[in-house]
Amino acid sequence: MRILVVDDEVDLTEAIARGLRRQGYAVDTAINGEEAIEKSSYTAYDLVCLDLTMPDIDGLEVCKILRKDPPEGIIPRILMLTARDTIEERIAGLDVGADDYLVKPFAFDELAARIRSLLRRDGGRSGAVLQVGPLMMDTARHIVTRDDRTLDLTAKEFAVLRYLMSRPGEVVSQEDLLEHVWDEHADPFTNTVRVTVGTLRRKVNSGQEDSILETVVGRGYRLSEESSS
C-alpha cells in the first residue's frame, strides 16, 4: 500500500514516514499543499495523511482536488490531521471527502490503527486478516503463516505479499508492484522487485510440493488461490 504524508511540520512528517515504512508501507512525503497536489497528480495513493492547516493551500482544498480527479481513477482514503478539534472543522472536512480525523498530538500506534481501519474499507480484500489458499496474513500483528508454519518475512516482503494477497488470481506486473509497494525514491531501473519477489517465493513455497506464488513470464506475478504443482 502506498501512502502520502502531508504536513508542514517537517520533523513530524519524517517521523510518521519512518514509522509507517517500518510497518512495510511505501511512503512519500510532502511539506505543503502544492507539493501534495503535484505528487498526487501522477501517483495513485491508497491513503493520504493530510494536515488540515497549512500556509499555502490548506487541507480542505487539497482534499477537494484529490477527490475531483485522481490518477488512474483511484480515490485515496484521506485521514485528516488537525491540531484543532472543533465540530465545525470536522464537518467541513467530512463534507469535502475526508474519511477520518485524528487530533494532534497523537500516538503513532493510534495513527497506524486508523490507517489499517481505513484500508480495510477497500473492497473487502484488505482486511485485518487475509487468507489466500494455505496462506494466512494478520496485517495488524504482521504475522504470515502457511499451513500453520510462520514465515519469517522482511518488511518489504510482507508488503509485497500483502499487495498480492489483496489481488488473488490476478497477474500483477513489476511496474504495478514498484508503484504501490515502493516509494518515490525507488530506482525503476534496478532489479529490486525481481529480487524481493524471488526471496519471497522461496519462503512462501519452501518445503512444499505445490507452488502458490508464480511468475507469469513476460507479464508479472500471480498468487494462486489454489496452489498447483
**Predicted confidence (pLDDT) at residue 212 exceeds the cutoff of 80:** yes
Q: Is the link from the previous residue into 105 a cis peptide, with omega within 30 of 0?
A: yes
Amino acid 128: pLDDT: 67
For 8-31, the pLDDT digits (tens) are 999 999 999 999 998 888 899 999
Structural domains of the chain in order of their starting residue, each with its CATH number? 2-119 (3.40.50.2300), 129-228 (1.10.10.10)
Residue with more model confidence, 51 or 83:
51
From the centroid of its chain, how far is CA 48? 10
* Cα 122 to Cα 21, 118, 119, 127, 156, distances in angstroms: 20, 8, 6, 8, 21
The pLDDT, as a whole number, for residue 133 is: 86
pLDDT > 90: what percent of the chain? 34
Taking only the tens place, the pLDDT of each residue in 75-113 is 889 999 988 777 777 777 777 888 999 988 999 999 999
- Would the pLDDT of 48 be above 90? yes
What's the pLDDT at 123? 45
SS3 of 204-229: the string is HHCCCCCEEEEEECCCEEEEEEEEEC
17-31, 49-63, 69-83, 188-202: range with lowest mean pLDDT: 69-83
Higher-pLDDT residue of 87 and 59 is 59
User: What are residue 5's DSSP bridge partners?
Assistant: 29, 49
Residue range 135-144, pLDDT digits in tens:
988 877 788 9
State what percent of residues in the chain have pLDDT above 70: 90
Angle at 171 between CA 205 and CA 201, to 5 degrees: 20
- pLDDT confidence of residue 72: 63
33-42, 78-87, 122-131, 188-197: least confidently modelled range: 122-131
